[in-house]
Structure 1
Amino acid sequence: MARTTRRRAVSTLAAAIAGALAAPAYAQATTRTPAGRTPGPLRQAHAHNDYLHPRPLHDALAHGFTSVEADIFLVDGELLVAHEPAGLDPARTLRTLYLDPLLARVRANHGCVYRGYHRPVQLLIDIKTDGAAAYAELHRQLTPYRSLLSTFAHGTVRPGAVTPVISGDRAARAPMEAQRVRHAFYDGRLDDLGTTAPASFVPLISSNWTQSFGWQGVGAFPARERAELRRIVATAHGRGQRVRFWATPDVAGPERDAVWTELLAAGVDHVNTDDLAGLERFLRGDRP
């Protein structure tokens, strides 16, 4: 009887995680936390250039972020985390800064990055150069961690505690598409909207805000731009894909707040920032 109960519990958990991976974050995660309870994870919070913080990954998780971004370079067969070649350090690898800490945390939290939060946390990996070769090494390194990763296998997605999504050098796309089994997914662009690329391969659509929108938070959001933003989000959500914009205003002030407010109102799934505390305050409703 105990074995049957465990199987049912595992089945229920798997179904919940599967729904979480496919479902866009339509609602804002801004509910205030009752006194005495730890604030919950923030579904829209994305840590851009996460590795530049004093404690990569850990600072973002301490602020409740559910998506973190790491830039990588392939150097002598290793994946080093840095924004520019000048910042490369052999000690700062993808494994030591992200994969190993995530594995330890998932084990400690009984299969989740945040205890009791049964949605995948996104690890956005931006390949800076050598896309195909870097992805080949990345796939090799991800494989030993497959127990915690969302996986595509023979046409089916199995959600895990962490979903790696590959961005950056577009040469990684072809080898990824050719794989029958992979432990990562692809970061699409606006050109992928409405195409045959399924959410099982392209679960995320990312774009440079300034290439589609001129508004930077000053004055009213132009009606035509607001309509275009909502069209993009609706099209992506209709195909089970999430939306993220980079290069949005990120200096604290009313302009940034205005843009963030419009992003959330339109249903954008990931709000991009380098200011962890600032976005946490905004999403939890503790703002001027």
Structure 2
Amino acid sequence: MFKSKLLFLLLLFQALVCEAVSNDTLSAPYPAHAHNDYMHERPLFDALDNGFRSIEADVFAIGDSLYVAHNRRDIKPVRTLRALYLEPLMQCVLEDRLAIYDSASPLILLVDIKDDGLTTYKLLDHILSESQEMLCLVSPEGYVPGKVMIVVSGNRSIEYMMLQTQRFAFVDGRMENLTETYPPLLMPLISDRWTKYFTWRGKGDMPGEERAQLRLYVQDAHENGQLI
């Protein structure tokens, strides 16, 4: 679990918040992340039923579809991004089953591109245009809120996305991006590998130096208007 990203993870939540806030004072959506969500018994719905704020799906481009899998050898014809996530989410919106998510706290679906970044992103952009009614998006007039925010991770085409006047997805940033000038309307989220920056694995007290560094990362992200 701890080799997954520093992204709304329960580990970060434990380090910064749980010492001061009891579970019964929290309200959904919770700061929790479904890593490799497609491996769960009920992809998407396990996370939704538990009020998770973010979900991750790895994708590969084949033809005109994006297939959800951890490796190419695991690809199955029925497990596309449309079938597992976009179509069920649209149905949830139509049935008002995403009431806990709003313009201030949309559901975040991270799409982790595992192959060629630009080719796959262009296909993703086309696919997302079919579901734009439920999506947070950027138009020539500015930001348009929605129930679901798509965030591109993995092989990201940052410069290409930055030049788009209309897009249906955003960029997953890294820790090194905290000191760069990408606007939150492009890069609303910062995530990275926990073990790249910290030795603490959740047992015992977090070392004071690491806790202080974590707080600085969080402070920098929030000052930039970004989630971490």
- TM-score norm. by structure 2 comes to 0.86
Q: Does 1:149 align with 2:135?
A: yes
Aligned partners of 1:219 and 1:27: how far apart in 2?
A: 16
Q: Does 1:63 align with 2:28?
A: no
Kindly state the Cα deviation for residue 158 of structure 1 after the two structures are TM-superposed. Answer: 1.1
Kindly state the Cα deviation for residue 30 of structure 1 after the two structures are TM-superposed. Answer: 5.3
Match for residue 174 of structure 1?
159
Runs of 4+ in 1 over 3 A off after TM superposition: 25-31
- TM-score norm. by structure 1 comes to 0.69
Match for residue 204 of structure 1?
189
Match for residue 36 of structure 2?
49
Counting aligned pairs with the same residue, the percent is: 42
Q: Kindly provide the amino acid, as one letter, of the partner of residue 90 in structure 2.
A: L
**Cα root mean square deviation, aligned:** 2.1
Q: Does 1:215 align with 2:215?
A: no
Instruction: Pick from 69, 75, 93 the counterpart of residue 82 of structure 1.
Output: 69
Q: Kindly provide the amino acid, as one letter, of the partner of residue 32 in structure 1.
A: D
Aligned partners of 1:176 and 1:206: how far apart in 2?
A: 18
Q: Does the 8 Å CA contact 1:150/1:162 hold for their aligned counterparts?
A: yes
Q: Please state whether the residue corresponding to 1:235 is helix, strand or coil.
A: helix
Instruction: Pick from 145, 150, 153 the counterpart of residue 159 of structure 1.
Output: 145
Aligned partners of 1:212 and 1:27: how far apart in 2?
A: 19
After the TM superposition, which residues 24-35 of structure 1 pair with which residues of structure 2 at under 5 Å, given as runs? 31-32=23-24
- Cα deviations across residues 207-257 of structure 1 (Å, max 9, x unaligned)? 1111111122343321111110000000000111001xxxxxxxxxxxxxx
In the alignment, structure 2 segments of 5+ residues that lack a partner are 1-12
Larger Rg: 1
Q: Kindly provide the amino acid, as one letter, of the partner of residue 177 in structure 2.
A: D
Q: Kindly provide the amino acid, as one letter, of the partner of residue 44 in structure 1.
A: P
In the alignment, structure 1 segments of 5+ residues that lack a partner are 1-24, 34-38, 244-288
Cα distance change, pair 211–72 in 1 and its aligned pair in 2 (3 A): same
Aligned partners of 1:30 and 1:101: how far apart in 2?
A: 33
After the TM superposition, which residues 1-288 of structure 1 pair with which residues of structure 2 at under 5 Å, given as runs? 31-32=23-24, 41-109=28-96, 113-115=97-99, 117-118=101-102, 119-154=105-140, 156-170=142-156, 172-243=157-228
Q: Does the 8 Å CA contact 1:186/1:203 hold for their aligned counterparts?
A: yes
Q: Which has the higher helix share?
A: 1
Q: Does the 8 Å CA contact 1:80/1:88 hold for their aligned counterparts?
A: yes
- For these two proteins, the number of residue pairs brought into alignment is 210
